[in-house]
């Protein structure tokens, strides 16, 4: 997801916490080299290794060297974590606490996260490869999520339902129990936060499985949760591979629900694994989001935003504007503007504040992107910019623009998840909507027009969970985030996320 955050954010007492200032490159390197790299996972109150002692190397995608290693948790570790979560849930140390008290502790976590802005900013650079200009927001946004749902903890109350009978019917929102949270690597701090905090606010216990590529920020969050007074066993974190620890979590009997964010391909495996125990499932999956530039658009703004919407976070964003659809009258001009911008984007050391695009998260991710570029060329699309790995160290890929892309191709249809844009012309509004909806995905879409009637008409016809009109990529924790079609089955963010982590229990009283 592209996150656009405000500068400065309010603490519970109303004071504005300013954004961490990025130091010089030398100083950033020095501070990054002194960071404590977590090397244990959290089960109950214990920071521990995997039962069988196996480990996964943590690789810095810029230096390609090993930063440290984390436990490669497996089925046995997941079983232990689920047991710890179940025990805490049943003991009521969190689940039976008043909503207000839970909210206060979540706010305390928010304060601690803000104090660690530098840690989260630097760790995301060296673990994930994103530029520090972008990672500097991670802590403030995560803190906002803790505070927002902390605020809901005593407000998501039930109701008394008027019946056709004379009896009373009371509906109370109870926590579901133990929730497994599985997250991807592209926004390590925010994704982990997003998938556990609504559950915690409502009194659930959680077992979090971060992505094996980027687990460090999640482990730091676990530490801060304990420090803020969230009781032992309420937040458990099992690091490990998806097909091992992730799959075990989906199958575990003691897990009542799974909140998954990741690819549609993995989402299908999660569904299958969870079917044996019929778990509640919330899946937030892949995207291939269209951005439509109509003939009456503010062209400069449309191209600037389409470009940022595509190349922000190296294009490793579920809702990146990866399919640009342009009215035929503007097509040549838009292509010229885009290719000029692609040539100017500054790739570099993620810790350098002048870097505009960092490197991809792993060699595997880089290879996958290069394969798609080959496929695009073979499919007959025109490579107008980029297309190559950057020379030297680091998993860098040049910002890549394919033009004249037709909808029958794989590069138009499949999520590449990297800095690879496709551009396609359209004739009229109907053609634009048909092209936009010609996808298995339906996460987000943007459209650019000065005509309000066109905006309303097109927005209502687009099959996308989020539609941005004359803007792209904005998110706010208060606004729901969901998808059509194979982009998922769940809704994150906003009040809507609370439905999934609660059971509306109906209690009748005879009168």
Contact range with ligand NAD by CB under 6 A, out of 9-17, 204-212, 381-389, 452-460? 204-212
Q: For 74, phi and psi rounded to 5 degrees? A: -130, -160
| Among 209, 323, 327, 454, interactor with ligand NAD by CB under 6 A | 209
| Among 2, 60, 266, 305, interactor with ligand NAD by CB under 6 A | 266
- Distant-in-sequence, close-in-space partners of 295: CB < 8 Å, separation ≥ 6: 327, 329, 330
Q: Tell me the C-alpha distance between 427 and 289, whole Å.
A: 19
Minimum Å distance from CB 146 to ligand NAD?
18
Q: Tell me the C-alpha distance between 97 and 404, whole Å.
A: 59
358 lies in the site for ligand NAD, by CB under 6 A: no
Residue nearer to ligand NAD on the CB measure, 176 or 211: 211
**In the chain, what is the straight-line distance between the N-terminal and C-terminal CA atoms, in Å?**
51
Minimum Å distance from CB 215 to ligand NAD?
9
Concatenated DSSP letters of 447-504: EE-S-HHHHHHHHHHS--SEEEES--S---TTS-B--EETTBS--BSTTTHHHHTEEE
Residue nearer to ligand NAD on the CB measure, 20 or 417: 417
Q: Number of residues in contact with ligand NAD, rule: CB under 6 A?
A: 30
Three-state DSSP at 169 gives strand
Residue nearer to ligand NAD on the CB measure, 135 or 286: 286
Contact range with ligand NAD by CB under 6 A, out of 72-80, 91-99, 181-189, 420-428? 181-189
Contact range with ligand NAD by CB under 6 A, out of 71-79, 170-178, 258-266, 448-456? 258-266
| Among 216, 270, 421, 501, interactor with ligand NAD by CB under 6 A | 270
133 lies in the site for ligand NAD, by CB under 6 A: no
Contact range with ligand NAD by CB under 6 A, out of 51-59, 111-119, 279-287, 306-314? 279-287
Q: Tell me the C-alpha distance between 385 and 340, whole Å.
A: 9
| Among 63, 69, 269, 437, interactor with ligand NAD by CB under 6 A | 269
**Could you tell me where the DSSP H helices lie in 34-160?**
75-91, 99-115, 117-128, 132-135, 138-152
Going by C-alpha positions, the residue among 474, 420, 465, 402 that lies closest to residue 439 is 465
219 lies in the site for ligand NAD, by CB under 6 A: no
| Among 113, 182, 297, 433, interactor with ligand NAD by CB under 6 A | 182
Q: Tell me the C-alpha distance between 182 and 242, whole Å.
A: 9
Interface ranges with ligand NAD (CB under 6 A): 1, 182-186, 209, 211-212, 242-243, 246-247, 250, 261-263, 266, 269-270, 273, 284-287, 318, 415, 417, 443, 488
């Amino acid at each position: 997801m592209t996150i656009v955050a405000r500068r400065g954010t309010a603490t519970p007492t109303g004071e504005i916490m300013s954004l961490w200032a990025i130091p010089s490159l030398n100083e950033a390197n020095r501070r990054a080299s002194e960071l404590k790299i977590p090397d244990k996972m959290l089960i109950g109150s214990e920071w521990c290794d995997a039962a069988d002692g196996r480990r996964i190397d943590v690789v810095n995608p810029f230096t390609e060297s090993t930063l440290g290693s984390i436990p490669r948790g497996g089925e046995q570790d997941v079983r232990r974590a689920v047991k710890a979560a179940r025990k805490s849930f049943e003991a009521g140390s969190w689940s039976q606490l008043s909503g207000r008290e839970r909210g206060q502790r979540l706010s305390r976590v928010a304060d601690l996260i803000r104090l660690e802005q530098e840690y989260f900013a630097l760790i995301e650079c060296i673990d994930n490869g994103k530029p520090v200009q972008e990672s500097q927001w991670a802590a403030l946004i995560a803190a906002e999520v803790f505070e927002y749902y902390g605020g809901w903890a005593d407000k998501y109350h039930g109701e008394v339902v008027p019946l056709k009978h004379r009896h009373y019917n009371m509906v109370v929102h109870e926590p579901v129990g133990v929730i497994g949270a599985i997250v991807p690597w592209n926004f390590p701090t925010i994704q982990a936060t997003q998938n556990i905090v609504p559950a915690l606010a409502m009194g659930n216990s959680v077992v979090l499985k971060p992505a094996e590529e980027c687990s460090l920020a999640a482990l730091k969050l676990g530490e801060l949760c304990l420090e803020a007074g969230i009781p032992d066993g309420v937040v458990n974190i099992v690091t490990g591979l998806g097909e091992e620890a992730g799959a075990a979590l989906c199958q575990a009997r003691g897990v009542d629900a799974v909140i998954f964010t990741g690819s549609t391909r993995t989402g299908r495996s999660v569904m299958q694994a969870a079917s044996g125990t019929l778990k509640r499932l919330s899946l937030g999956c892949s995207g291939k989001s269209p951005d439509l530039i109509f003939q009456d658009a503010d062209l400069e703004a449309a191209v600037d935003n389409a470009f940022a919407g595509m190349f922000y976070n190296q294009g490793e964003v579920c809702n990146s504007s990866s399919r640009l659809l342009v009215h035929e009258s503007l097509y040549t001009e838009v292509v010229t503007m885009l290719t000029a911008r692609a040539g100017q984007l500054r790739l570099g050391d993620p810790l350098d504040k002048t870097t505009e695009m960092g490197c991809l998260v792993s060699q595997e991710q880089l290879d996958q992107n290069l394969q798609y570029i080959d496929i695009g060329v073979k499919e007959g699309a025109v490579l107008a910019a980029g297309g190559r790995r950057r020379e030297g160290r680091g998993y860098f890929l040049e910002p890549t623009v394919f033009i004249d892309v037709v909808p029958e191709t794989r590069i138009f249809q499949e999520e590449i998840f990297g800095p690879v844009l496709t551009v396609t012309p359209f004739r009229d509004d109907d053609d634009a909507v048909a092209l936009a909806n010609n996808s298995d995905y339906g996460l987000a879409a943007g459209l650019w027009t000065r005509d309000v009637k066109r905006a309303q008409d097109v927005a209502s016809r687009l099959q996308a969970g989020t539609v941005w009109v004359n803007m792209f990529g904005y998110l706010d924790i208060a606004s729901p985030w969901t998808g059509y079609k194979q982009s998922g089955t769940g809704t994150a963010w906003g009040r809507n996320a609370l439905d999934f982590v609660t059971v509306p229990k109906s209690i009748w009283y005879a009168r």
